[in-house]
Amino acid sequence: MKKVVHTESAPAAIGPYSQGSVFKELLFTSGQLPLDPKTMNFVEGGVKEQARQCLTNLKAVLEAGGASLDSTVKTTCLLSDMANFAEFNEVYTEVFGTAAAPSRTCFEAARLPKDALVEVEAIAFINQPMS
C-alpha cells in the first residue's frame, strides 16, 4: 500500500501531487524546487544557491519518509541550462560526495516550474518506518 509523505520542512506542493510517496521499502520524491519552505519564495542567488536549497528540501522529504541522503539510490536532476552543470556539480558533490553517490540522470529542461534554475528528485530505500 502506498503512503504519502508530507513535511513542513520542505515546500508545500504547488499542484496536485505529494512531496513523496512510499511503496514497500522505496521512497519516491517529487521534484524539489529551490523554494524556502517558510516563505515559498526562491532563495536568493544563482544556480549554486538554488541547488543547495533543492537538496536541502530533498533531504527533508527523504527524512520525513524514513529514508536519507545515504540511502538514495537514484536522482534525476533538471537544469534550466547545461552551462550551469559544473556549478551544480560542485554543490551536488558537497551533499552526496563521489565515492557512494547515487546513480544520476542530469539534463536540461526547456523550462522548469516557476522558472527555477534547478529541480531534483530522488528514489531511496527506507531506513526506518515513517512516523
Task: Check 95, 101, 106, 130 and give the catalytic one.
Answer: 106
Which pairing describes strands 103-108 and 72-79: parallel, antiparallel, or unpaired?
Answer: parallel
Q: Is 54 one of the annotated active-site residues of the chain?
A: no
Asked whether the beta carbons of 47 and 112 are under 8 A apart, the reply is no
Kindly tell me the burial class for residue 23, based on how many C-beta atoms sit within 10 Å of its own C-beta (0-12, 13-18, 19 or more): exposed
Greatest pairwise CA separation for the chain in angstroms: 41
Residues 6 or more apart whose CB falls under 8 angstroms from that of 1 comprise none
Taking the CB of residue 99, how many other CB atoms lie within 10 A of it?
5
Catalytic residues: 106
